C-alpha cells in the first residue's frame, strides 16, 4: 500500500515526536514511524534534566501542563569532592534561568498524547524500515506495518531514530564524516524507592569514581555510579550498589543517603559521536541519530529538541515562502550547538570521573579544575550557562 505525507519521520523519541508537533503548528503534515510499541517508548527510563529553553518551548506550545505540575525546577547543583559539597547557584549566575527535572518518558507520553489528540499519525511496531531515493525530490520509506508492506512517499525524511537507527546508514560513506570518542567507563543507573536525599542534583568526584544523585519524584530517586562499561549488572547486588554510593558520596559532615528498595538497574556505555553533515539530499538527521554525548552534562535530549526546532523552522520557510536557505544551513546551524555540547559534556566527564590508567598528576589536575570551578565566579558561570542551556539562537 502507498501512502503520502510531506515529512516522513523515522523514530518516536523526543526528536521525532516534537518535530511532528512543531510541523503541525504550521499546518505541515507528517507521519511518524516507530519500531517499538507505545508502551515501550512510554516506559523506557532515560534522561531527566530539561534545559530552560526546552521547558519554555514545551510551555509555549501548550505541552507543559503536567511538567509544571509534576516536574521540579532546580536553581542549583552541587559539586562534591574531598568530602565537601559546593553549590553552583545556576539561576543566580544565569539571570534566573534554571533546569527542570522531569523524566524523558513522561515527556514522550505528553508528546504522544498531544499528537494523537490532534489526529496525527504515529505508526508503532513498524518493521524493516528502509529509506530510498533521498537524493531525489521524492524520497520514500518502505516498511512493514501489521504484516503489510507499505511505502511512504514524502517531500522530506527526518531521521530521528536514535543512535541505533537506520536513517544514518542510508548516507553513503563518501557523504559523511564521523567523529567519535569512547570512554573507559560506563554508568550504572538505578531507580530507588526512597524520598530525595537532597533538594538539588549532586555530581560527586571520589577516589572510587563518579556518583550522581538525581531524582524522579517525591518517592523515587535516580542514582548513577561510574563503573566498568563491560561489567555485567548481575555482578552488582543491591547491597554492593548502596555501599558504593555511600562511600563515594560520603562527606565530612556525615551527609546521609536515604535508601530504599532498588526497582531498576542497568549499565550504559559512554561515548561521544558526531556525524557531519547532518543532512544528505532530502534526508535530515536530528537528535541521537546524528550525535551522542556522554550523559554527564545532561545534554542529549536537549540537543535533540534544539535540532528539531531548527528543522521545523527551515521546513516551514520552505513550504510558506519557498525558501531553501535555512534547509541548506540546517547542518551547520545545528553543529555549532552540537560541538559546544560535545565539549561541555566531555569537560564535565573528564573532570568528574576516575580514569583507569590515570596517574597522580591527572588526579591533581582534576582537583585543581574542581577547586577553580567552585571558587571562581567566572568559572562557575561558564558551567552554569552551559548546564541551563544556551539560547536557541546564541
Applying CB under 6 A, the residues found at the interface with ligand FAD are 10-16, 33-36, 41, 46-49, 104, 126, 129, 160-162, 164-166, 189, 268, 287-288, 295, 298-302, 304
Beta carbon of residue 322, minimum distance to ligand FAD (angstroms, whole number): 29
Q: Quick one: which of 227, 4, 32 has its CA closest to 122?
A: 32
13 in contact with ligand DHB (CB under 6 A): no
| Residue 201 interacting partner from ligand DHB, ligand FAD, none (CB closer than 5 to 8 Å by kind) | ligand DHB
47 in contact with ligand DHB (CB under 6 A): yes
Q: Quick one: which of 75, 368, 138, 356 has its CA closest to 228?
A: 356
Closest to ligand FAD by CB, 276 or 371: 276
Return the residue of 49, 112, 122, 188 that touches ligand DHB, per CB under 6 A: 49
- Which of the following is catalytic: 102, 183, 203, 330? 203
Whether residue 277 is preceded by a cis peptide bond, meaning omega within 30 degrees of 0, is yes
Stretch that binds ligand DHB, among 43-51, 176-184, 259-267, 333-341 (CB under 6 A): 43-51
**Residues between 175 and 204 with contacts to ligand DHB, criterion CB under 6 A:** 201
Beta carbon of residue 36, minimum distance to ligand FAD (angstroms, whole number): 4
Per-residue x/- mask for ligand DHB, residues 292 to 311, rule CB under 6 A?
A: ---xx-x-------------
Distance CA 20, CA 31 (A): 8
Closest to ligand DHB by CB, 296 or 366: 296
In whole angstroms, how far apart are CA 279 and each of 26, 88, 115? 22, 38, 25
Query: Is 183 designated active site?
Result: no
Task: Output the residue with the shortest Cβ distance to ligand DHB.
Answer: 48
- Which of the following is catalytic: 139, 295, 310, 353? 295
Residue 376's contacts (CB-CB under 8 Å, 6 or more residues apart) are none
Distance CA 234, CA 230 (A): 12
Question: CA angle, 140 as apex, 274 and 285 as ends, to 5°?
Answer: 15
Cβ 44 vs Cβ 164: under 8 Å: no
Beta carbon of residue 116, minimum distance to ligand DHB (angstroms, whole number): 26
Q: Quick one: which of 121, 151, 127, 143 has its CA closest to 36?
A: 127
Query: Is 117 designated active site?
Result: no
100 in contact with ligand DHB (CB under 6 A): no
Query: Is 372 designated active site?
Result: no
Return the residue of 97, 140, 145, 222 that touches ligand DHB, per CB under 6 A: 222
Q: Quick one: which of 171, 159, 168 has its CA closest to 11?
A: 159
Query: Is 140 designated active site?
Result: no
| Residue 8 interacting partner from ligand DHB, ligand FAD, none (CB closer than 5 to 8 Å by kind) | none
Closest to ligand FAD by CB, 47 or 57: 47
Greatest C-alpha distance within the chain: 67
Q: Quick one: which of 96, 103, 101, 54 has its CA closest to 389?
A: 54
Cβ 30 vs Cβ 6: under 8 Å: yes
Q: Quick one: which of 10, 302, 21 has its CA closest to 160?
A: 10
Per-residue x/- mask for ligand DHB, residues 141 to 180, rule CB under 6 A?
A: ----------------------------------------
Residue 279: all three cell numbers together: 543532512
Closest to ligand FAD by CB, 160 or 204: 160
Distance CA 286, CA 20 (A): 13
Closest to ligand FAD by CB, 48 or 85: 48
Closest to ligand DHB by CB, 220 or 379: 220
Query: Is 299 designated active site?
Result: yes
Closest to ligand FAD by CB, 166 or 380: 166
Question: CA angle, 242 as apex, 43 and 224 as ends, to 5°?
Answer: 45
Distance CA 68, CA 51 (A): 14
In whole angstroms, how far apart are CA 201 and each of 3, 88, 167? 47, 10, 35
Provide the binding-site residues for ligand DHB, judged by CB under 6 A.
47-49, 201, 212, 214, 222, 295-296, 298
Active site residues: 74, 203, 295, 299, 387
Amino acid at each position: 500500500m502507498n501512502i503520502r505525507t510531506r515529512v516522513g519521520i523515522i523514530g518516536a523519541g523526543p526528536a521525532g515526536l516534537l518535530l511532528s508537533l512543531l510541523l503541525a503548528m504550521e499546518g505541515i503534515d507528517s507521519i511518524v514511524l516507530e519500531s517499538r510499541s507505545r508502551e515501550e517508548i512510554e516506559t523506557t527510563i532515560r534522561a531527566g534534566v530539561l534545559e530552560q529553553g526546552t521547558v519554555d518551548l514545551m510551555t509555549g506550545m501548550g505541552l507543559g501542563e503536567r511538567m509544571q505540575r509534576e516536574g521540579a525546577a532546580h536553581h542549583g547543583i552541587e559539586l562534591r569532592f574531598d568530602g565537601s559539597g559546593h553549590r553552583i547557584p545556576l539561576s543566580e549566575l544565569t539571570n534566573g534561568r534554571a533546569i527542570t527535572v522531569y523524566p524523558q518518558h513522561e515527556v514522550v507520553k505528553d508528546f504522544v498524547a498531544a499528537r494523537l489528540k490532534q489526529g496525527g499519525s504515529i505508526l508503532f511496531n513498524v518493521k524493516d524500515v528502509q529509506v530510498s531515493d533521498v537524493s531525489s525530490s521524492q524520497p520514500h520509506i518502505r516498511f512493514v506495518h501489521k504484516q503489510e508492506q507499505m511505502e511512504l512517499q514524502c517531500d522530506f525524511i527526518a531521521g530521528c531514530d536514535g543512535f541505533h537507527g537506520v536513517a544514518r546508514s542510508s548516507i553513503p560513506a563518501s557523504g559523511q564524516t564521523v567523529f567519535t570518542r569512547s570512554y573507559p567507563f560506563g554508568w550504572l543507573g538505578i531507580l530507588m524507592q526512597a524520598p530525595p536525599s537532597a533538594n538539588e542534583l549532586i555530581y560527586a568526584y571520589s577516589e572510587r569514581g563518579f556518583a550522581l544523585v538525581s531524582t524522579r519524584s517525591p518517592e523515587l530517586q535516580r542514582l548513577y555510579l561510574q563503573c566498568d562499561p563491560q561489567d555485567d549488572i548481575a555482578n552488582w547486588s543491591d547491597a554492593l550498589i548502596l555501599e558504593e554510593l555511600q562511600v563515594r558520596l560520603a562527606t565530612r559532615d556525615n551527609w546521609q543517603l536515604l535508601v530504599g528498595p532498588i526497582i531498576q538497574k542497568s549499565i550504559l556505555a559512554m561515548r561521544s559521536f558526531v556525524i557531519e553533515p547532518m543532512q544528505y539530499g532530502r534526508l535530515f538527521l536530528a537528535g541521537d541519530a546524528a550525535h551522542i554525548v556522554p550523559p554527564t552534562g545532561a545534554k542529549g535530549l536537549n540537543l535533540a529538541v534544539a535540532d528539531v526546532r531548527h528543522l521545523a523552522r527551515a521546513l516551514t520557510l520552505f513550504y510558506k515562502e519557498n525558501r531553501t536557505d535555512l534547509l541548506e544551513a540546517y547542518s551547520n546551524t545545528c553543529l555549532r550547538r552540537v560541538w559546544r555540547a560535545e565539549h561541555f559534556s566531555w569537560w564535565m566527564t573528564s573532570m568528574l570521573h576516575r580514569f583507569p590508567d590515570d596517574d597522580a598528576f591527572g588526579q591533581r589536575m582534576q582537583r585543581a579544575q574542581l577547586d577553580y570551578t567552585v571558587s571562581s565566579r567566572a568559572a562557575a558561570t561558564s558551567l552554569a550557562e552551559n548546564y541551563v542551556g544556551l539560547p536557541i539562537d546564541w
